Chains A and B, each alone.
Chain A
Amino acid sequence: MHPLLFGFMAALLVASALSVILQRSPIRSALSLVTTLFLLAVVFLFLDAQLVAALQIVVYAGAVMVLFLFVIMLLNLQLDRPSMAPVAVRGAAAFVASLFLLALLRYAVGAGGGTGGMSTAIDADFGSTEAVATQLFTHFLLAFEVTGLLLLVAVVGAVVLAKRKLV
């Protein structure tokens, strides 16, 4: 990925992510999050992760965000008046977050052993559906099965929770 292109994508990503937490209307937050997810899918494509990029758009920007928008519109939320925490809490949050960011950056700088740019030589099928699926159905078969069970439990749980006259 060309450095200029990366800088452009990174700036767009940070701007849309900030928009998620700064918009007062939940709908606008959700749409900003969709933008962020699409931009991430583009970055994934540049990192030779075609299947993950497609899943990102179908599962995240598609299914999960439709669920979010559906709930926001179902509850018919207005602009929430004290959308933000009190100033003191916000100051404390900003302080904690900056410490947190510094700690993360401390590890980020020099990550990967400082070997310079990523090598351009890579297998033609790296990140293809076949390459990912082969790993998924051999090394990670048990985890895959457990994930299926988790999804079943989540579906039943969501139906039970959202049902009327139960809570």
Chain B
Amino acid sequence: MNVVSIEWYVILGAVLFTIGAVGVLVRRNVIVMFMSIELMLNAVNLVFVAFSRHLHTIEGQVAVFFVMTVAAAEAAVGLAIIIAAFRNRETVNADELNWLRW
């Protein structure tokens, strides 16, 4: 059979998600950490769409629609926070943004 099984899509999604998680853990630039989060969201979207195709149900694609909306809202608010933080501290290094540390 000349088609890829659902397994491979889920494995690809797991690999992409892990790359995003490593990015959040390892990078110190908050903007790059933010982009890693987008990468993780997209890995989940891939699994949603693959299962939607596999099970012949459209609900998975509707879920992707909602994930995209929330991601867009999150990007707008998150980047506004980064701009506000940069204005106060002149840095986007996560180690130096420690107001909340007691």
Contacts and interface: CB of A to CB of B under 8 A. Distances in A.
Contacts of B42: 36-37, 40, 60
A135 B66 CA distance: 12
Contact of A13 (B12, B21, B92, B93): B12
A135 B14 contact: no
Chain B contact residues (Cβ within 8 angstroms of A): what range? 35 or more
A104 B14 contact: yes
Please classify the interface of chain A as helix (H, G, I), strand (E, B), loop, or mixed, using the class held by over half of its residues.
helix
A49 B27 contact: no
Interface string A17-58: 110110000100110010011001001100111011001100
B4 A80 contact: no
Nearest to B59: A135
A22 B64 CA distance: 27
8 contacts: A21-B27, A40-B45, A43-B49, A64-B71, A83-B28, A118-B5, A126-B53, A147-B66
Interface of B: 1-23, 25-29, 31-32, 34-36, 38-39, 42, 45-46, 49-54, 56, 58-59, 61-62, 64-66, 68-77, 79-84, 86-88, 92-93
Interface of A: 1-3, 6, 10, 13-14, 17-18, 20-21, 26, 29-30, 33, 36-37, 40, 43-44, 47-49, 51-52, 55-56, 59-60, 63-64, 67-68, 71-72, 74-75, 77, 80, 82-85, 89-90, 93-94, 96-97, 100-101, 104-105, 107-112, 114-120, 122-123, 126-127, 131-132, 135-136, 139-140, 143, 147, 150-151, 153-155, 157-159, 161-162, 164, 166-167
